[in-house]
Structure 1
Amino acid sequence: MRKTDTLQDNREIIAELRQKDSHFASIFDEHTELDQKINQLEKDLVKHTSREEEIEQMKRRKLHLKDEIYKAIEKNKPHALNQ
């Protein structure tokens, strides 16, 4: 996978994996939920300040999930596209 690949670039593989792999669907959904929560908290300056440590923990978890998502995508890409 190119370093510039995004989740959007891999939407077909993601859709397929979400249907056939319940673990992938679960981590993808958790990643999406964390992204939304983080964005909401960062927009609210009062909540952001009081929950800074929690936000950082969510960001670390989200990054871990993203790594796992990309590993699954790479593993499931047709071999000819990996070059």
Structure 2
Amino acid sequence: MITKHILTQEFPEFEGKINTLKTENTHFKKLFHDFDELEHEIFRVESDSEPASDEALHELRVKRVHLKDEIYQFLVAH
């Protein structure tokens, strides 16, 4: 089953903070945008809208994990 990873669903305890930071903090806004773009790209590959090798999909997923970790660290620190 293909699912989208939405930050407010991934980190429901930070939903309010996410909504505030993405409008008030330039760095977080970029992280949020990068995550959203990467998530759309992964979704397109997983749904066969955009063909890619298994290796390429794996690399995208690894990037998503690292970016998600960076976002979590940012949320905890601020």
TM range (shorter): 0.7 to 0.9
Root mean square deviation of aligned Cα: 2.2
% identical equivalent positions:
26
- Bigger-Rg structure (1/2): 1
CA distance in 2, matches of 1:57, 1:74: 26
Aligned pairs, number: 70
Q: Distance in 2 between matches of 1:23 and 1:74?
A: 15
User: What is the TM-score normalised by the length of structure 1?
Assistant: 0.70
Q: Which runs of 5+ in 1 are unaligned?
A: 77-83
CA distance in 1, matches of 2:50, 2:28: 34
How far, CA to CA, are the matches of 2:44 and 2:64 in structure 1? 15
Structure 2: gaps spanning 5 or more residues = 1-8
Q: Higher RCO, 1 or 2 (CA under 8 Å, sep at least 6)?
A: 1
Provide the rounded CA distance (Å) in 2 between the counterparts of 1:42 and 1:19.
30
Partners of 1:46 and 1:32 in 2: CA distance: 17
Where does structure 1 differ by over 2 angstroms across 4 or more consecutive aligned residues?
5-9
Amino acid at match of 1:35: E
Q: Provide the rounded CA distance (Å) in 2 between the counterparts of 1:29 and 1:8.
A: 18
Normalising by structure 2, what TM-score? 0.74
Write 1 or 2 for the structure with the bigger share of helix: 1
